[in-house]
Copies of this chain bind each other. A is one copy, B any other.
């Protein structure tokens, strides 16, 4: 049993529009989360959008993370890209550095990093991709913790290098008994009921547990709860989670 939690972070991927395109209701979500994973321009985001997102985050006292991805606007960073290890590393360094400068100009500061979409999944599957990612972080932002699902090979690789980690739980996804997420390709992978999302959020925060698809209750101690900004009902789930947490005596505060 977890010790009593008085606060937890809510994070969401934000600033993922591009030029005239938007993909989520950033404005509303920036009023609900405590930490904004800001896209760095390669899978979504452009410097103007990054800046505005960081300015709002700074004005509201939210944490800002560098949310880097594959160089693939058309695919929104959601498809695996074949990239040599050194090229991937350099792409990530560039993205983090670009956002750091923009955030600073916006009066904010990048406090953590988080991989996006297919890059995250490829890092779980291919050691070279994980190594490229961790190399990049160590090279350009060694003090920044990586927000990451606990129990994954990526988390273990980072721990083995002594890198700081922040543990992430998902309130809009279901878990398997092994503590990993139910793949999106399987039925029941998504949580879409805001009320359920809220009660799951509170349980992870208060008890450090989650109920899996088989009905088993497993430990899931996390530092932050993620809501995917582009799922249908993202705003409703964020609202419900925030209400459930605050109603249950858990403050929603930045993890950094």
Contact = CB atoms under 8 A, between A and B. Distances in A.
Interface of A: 17-23, 41, 46-48, 50-51, 71, 73-76, 78-83, 86-87, 90-91, 93-102, 104-105, 118, 136, 139-140, 230
Given A73-B73, A90-B48, A90-B51, A20 B97 contact: no
Contact of A23 (B21, B74, B104): B21
A98 B94 contact: yes
Nearest to A77: B20
A102 B21 CA distance: 24
A52 to B, nearest CB: 9
Centre residue among A21, A78, A104 by max chain B CB count within 10 A: A21
A142 to B, nearest CB: 11
Given A79-B83, A98-B98, 15 more contacts: A18-B21, A19-B73, A19-B74, A20-B23, A47-B91, A47-B93, A51-B93, A80-B82, A82-B118, A93-B102, A94-B99, A94-B101, A104-B139, A105-B136, A105-B139
A17 B116 CA distance: 21
Nearest to A83: B79
List 5 A-B pairs, minimum CB-CB distance, nearest first: A97-B101, A21-B21, A47-B90, A98-B98, A79-B82
Contacts of A71: 74
Contacts of A99: 94, 97
Contact of A105 (B76, B78, B118, B140): B140
Contacts of A23: 20-21
A76 B139 contact: no
A47 B87 contact: yes
Contacts of A96: 101
Contacts of A22: 21
A71 to B, nearest CB: 7
A102 B90 CA distance: 7
9 contacts: A18-B21, A19-B73, A20-B78, A46-B91, A47-B93, A48-B86, A73-B73, A79-B81, A97-B99
